[in-house]
Amino acid sequence: MLKLWRWYQNCLSVHPVKTQVISSGIIWGFGDIAAQTVTHYTAVKRKPNFVSEKDKELHINWRRVATTSLFGMAFVGPVGHFWYEGLDRFLRFKLQYQPKSIRFVATKVALDGIIFGPVDLFVFFSYMGFASGKSFNQVKDDVKRDFLPALVLEGGIWPIVQVANFRFIPVQYQLLYVNSFCLLDSCFLSWLEQQQDAAWKQWFKTFSLKEHNKKEG
């Protein structure tokens, strides 16, 4: 394991972007396998009498795994690399914030939650929708249904994760740290999508409409 870590460190120092791209693709692929496993057994457990013996067996959708892995490679890897590196340089050299200080960490967490988090979710839901063959209107409806609930629920977890990340993890390893937690996040997003038009999601939609009507009024 130590040799593997040293090999990764060497790859990261020689080919930082390429290493982040490949590692993100691998981690997001494994994350989707975990997500499919969790959602499958959750569905079987929820309605055991309505599921045939054949459907009780887990069948991994490898096309979806490849699609999710490609998202990790094409978006999370390169964008995440330049985001964390650029954000760190911006706060250090432009704003002259002291590294690891409360102000430094708090600003990083805030900007990450306000900018990168929502963009990442929006791109993920849009990409997965189009990749599965849905039309523009279908993807638009799915994003409306899933984006706000995901943003709110993740908003209570990711800031805590990122405080530890920005305080203790060197910047070159911060994306790897985030991707590791994305293994769990993939399970959550898959579960969220499985909920379809659940009542608690409708509450978010109603809340959004009320806010929209207030602004128009």
Q: What mean pLDDT do residues 132-156 have?
A: 89
Across 17-21, 96-100, 193-197, least confident range = 193-197
Q: Which of 35-44, 50-59, 74-83, 138-147 has the highest mean pLDDT?
A: 74-83
Contact 69, 31 (CB under 8 A): no
The count of C-alpha atoms lying within 13 angstroms of the C-alpha of 138, restricted to the half-sphere facing its C-beta, is: 10
Map residue 156 onto helix, strand or coil.
coil
Map residue 96 onto helix, strand or coil.
coil
> Does 177 score more than 90 pLDDT?
yes
Q: What is the dihedral of CA 68, 62, 154, 107, to 10 degrees?
A: -30
Contact 194, 43 (CB under 8 A): yes
Q: Which residue has the tokens 């993920």?
A: 124
Q: Which residue has the tokens 């997500």?
A: 35
Instruction: Say how many domains are in the chain.
Output: 1
Nearest CA among 19, 132, 139 for reference residue 73: 19
Instruction: Identify the domain containing residue 154 by its residue range.
Output: 2-216
**In terms of residues, how long is the chain?**
217
pTM of structure: 0.83
Can you read off the two tokens belonging to residue 207?
């809340």
Q: How high is the mean pLDDT of the chain? A: 86
Q: Which residue has the tokens 């708090």?
A: 106
Distance CA(47)–CA(68), nearest Å, equals: 27
Across 57-66, 104-113, 168-177, 197-206, least confident range = 197-206
Distance CA(82)–CA(46), nearest Å, equals: 42
pLDDT at 37: 87
